[in-house]
Structure 1
Amino acid sequence: MALTLRQIAPKSIFGRSLLIIILPIIVMQMIVAYIFFNAHWATVTANLTESVAADVAVATQLYSRDPTVENADALDDLLRPDMQLSVRLKPSETLPTSRRRNFFSVLDKSIGRALSNAIDQPFWFDTTRYPHHIDIRVQVDEGVLQFYAATDRVFAPTGFVFIFWLITATILLTLVSVVYIRRQSLPIRELADAADAFGKGQDIGTYKPHGAVEVRRAGQSFLKMRQRIRRHLDQRTLMLAGVSHDLRTPLTRLKLALSMAETKEDIEDAKRDLDEMEAMLSAYLDFARGAGEGDAELVEADLLLSNIAEEEGIPFHMSEPISIEARPQQLRRAVLNLVGNARKYATKPAITLEFTTTHVFIHVDDEGGGIPAHKRDDVLRPFSRLDDARTQNIEGVGLGLAVARDIAQLHGGRLKLDDSPSGGLRATIQLPR
Structure 2
Amino acid sequence: MSLPRRLKIFIPRQIKRWLPTSLFGRSLLIIILPVAIMQVAVTWVFFDAHWQTVTSRLSDGLAGDIAWVADEYQADPSKPAVARLAKRAEDSLGLSIDVWRKALPANRHPSLFARVDRTLDKALGEHLDNPYWFSTTRYPAYVDIRVQMKDGALLRIIANRERAYATQGHIFVLWLAIATFLLTAIAVLFIRNQVRAIERLASAADAFGRGDDQPDFKPYGAREVRQAAQAFLAMKSRIQRHIDQRTALLASVSHDLRTPLTRLKLELALAEPSRRIEDMKRDLSEMEHMIDEYLAFARGEGGEAVELVRLAGLIEEVVEGAVRAGGKVTLTADPSLSVSVRPNALKRALANLVMNAAVHGEHVEVSVRTTPAGGVEILIDDDGPGIAPEHYEDAFKPFNRLDESRNQNEKGVGLGLAIARDVARGHGGDLTLDRAPLGGLRAIIRLPG
Alignment CA distance shift 1:136-1:236 (3 Å): same
Q: 1:262 aligned to 2:272?
A: yes
Aligned to 1:38: 48
Contact (CA 8 Å) 1:291, 1:406: kept in 2 or not? Answer: no
Partner of 2:393: helix, strand, or coil?
helix
Distance in 2 between the 1:143 and 1:197 partners?
88
- Per-residue CA deviation, residues 391-428 of structure 1 (Å, 9 max, x unaligned), is 43621222211111100000111110111011111011
Distance in 2 between the 1:306 and 1:96 partners?
90
Q: 1:74 aligned to 2:84?
A: yes
Q: 1:399 aligned to 2:415?
A: yes
Distance in 1 between the 2:22 and 2:215 partners?
24
Q: 1:337 aligns with which of 336, 352, 364?
A: 352
The 5-angstrom pairing of residues 13-162 of structure 1 reads 13-91=23-101, 93-140=102-149, 141-162=151-172
Give the CA deviation at 1:378: 1.8
Q: 2:368 aligns with which of 322, 336, 353?
A: 353
Alignment CA distance shift 1:393-1:180 (3 Å): closer
Give the CA deviation at 1:225: 2.3
Partner of 1:48: helix, strand, or coil?
helix
> Could you tell me the TM-score, scaled by structure 2's length?
0.91
Q: Which moved more, 1:154-163 or 1:4-13?
A: 154-163
Give the CA deviation at 1:107: 1.3
> Letter of the aligned partner of 1:106 in structure 2?
R
Aligned residues: 432
Contact (CA 8 Å) 2:311, 2:339: kept in 1 or not? Answer: yes
- Per-residue CA deviation, residues 209-256 of structure 1 (Å, 9 max, x unaligned), is 222232222222222222233333333333333222112111111111
Aligned to 1:388: 404
Q: 1:273 aligned to 2:283?
A: yes
Q: Which moved more, 1:323-332 or 1:310-319?
A: 310-319
Distance in 2 between the 1:253 and 1:307 partners?
32
> Letter of the aligned partner of 2:127 in structure 1?
A
Distance in 1 between the 2:21 and 2:145 partners?
56
Give the CA deviation at 1:319: 6.3
Aligned to 2:424: 408
- Per-residue CA deviation, residues 356-391 of structure 1 (Å, 9 max, x unaligned), is 122321011111111122222222122221233734
> Letter of the aligned partner of 1:232 in structure 2?
H
Q: 1:325 aligned to 2:334?
A: no
Give the CA deviation at 1:112: 1.1
Partner of 1:343: helix, strand, or coil?
helix
Aligned to 1:208: 218
Q: 1:370 aligned to 2:386?
A: yes
> Letter of the aligned partner of 1:370 in structure 2?
G
The 5-angstrom pairing of residues 221-240 of structure 1 reads 221-240=231-250
Alignment CA distance shift 1:142-1:387 (3 Å): closer
Contact (CA 8 Å) 1:385, 1:391: kept in 2 or not? Answer: no
Contact (CA 8 Å) 2:428, 2:447: kept in 1 or not? Answer: yes
Alignment CA distance shift 1:244-1:306 (3 Å): closer
Q: 1:424 aligns with which of 427, 440, 446?
A: 440
Structure 2 gaps of 5+ residues are 1-10, 324-328
> Letter of the aligned partner of 2:385 in structure 1?
G
Contact (CA 8 Å) 1:73, 1:88: kept in 2 or not? Answer: no
Aligned to 1:316: 331
Alignment CA distance shift 1:297-1:71 (3 Å): farther
Q: Which moved more, 1:117-126 or 1:322-331?
A: 322-331
> Letter of the aligned partner of 2:391 in structure 1?
K
Cα RMSD of the aligned pairs, angstroms, is 1.9
Contact (CA 8 Å) 1:344, 1:394: kept in 2 or not? Answer: no
Aligned to 1:304: 314
Identity of aligned residues (%): 46
Contact (CA 8 Å) 1:342, 1:366: kept in 2 or not? Answer: yes
Contact (CA 8 Å) 1:240, 1:284: kept in 2 or not? Answer: no
Aligned to 1:191: 201
Contact (CA 8 Å) 1:363, 1:426: kept in 2 or not? Answer: yes
Partner of 1:45: helix, strand, or coil?
helix
Alignment CA distance shift 1:202-1:175 (3 Å): same
Contact (CA 8 Å) 2:59, 2:120: kept in 1 or not? Answer: yes
- Per-residue CA deviation, residues 327-355 of structure 1 (Å, 9 max, x unaligned), is 22211221111111112222211211012
Contact (CA 8 Å) 2:311, 2:338: kept in 1 or not? Answer: yes
Q: 1:248 aligns with which of 258, 267, 270?
A: 258
Structure 1 gaps of 5+ residues are none
Give the CA deviation at 1:61: 1.1
Contact (CA 8 Å) 2:161, 2:167: kept in 1 or not? Answer: no
Q: Which moved more, 1:280-289 or 1:293-302?
A: 293-302
Q: 2:192 aligns with which of 182, 185, 188?
A: 182
Partner of 2:392: helix, strand, or coil?
helix
Distance in 2 between the 1:230 and 1:87 partners?
93
Contact (CA 8 Å) 1:293, 1:330: kept in 2 or not? Answer: no
Q: Which moved more, 1:138-147 or 1:290-299?
A: 290-299
Q: Which moved more, 1:138-147 or 1:16-25?
A: 138-147
> Could you tell me the TM-score, scaled by structure 1's length?
0.94
> Letter of the aligned partner of 1:216 in structure 2?
R
Partner of 1:324: helix, strand, or coil?
strand
Alignment CA distance shift 1:80-1:298 (3 Å): farther
After TM superposition, what 4+ stretches of structure 1 lie above 6 angstroms from structure 2? none
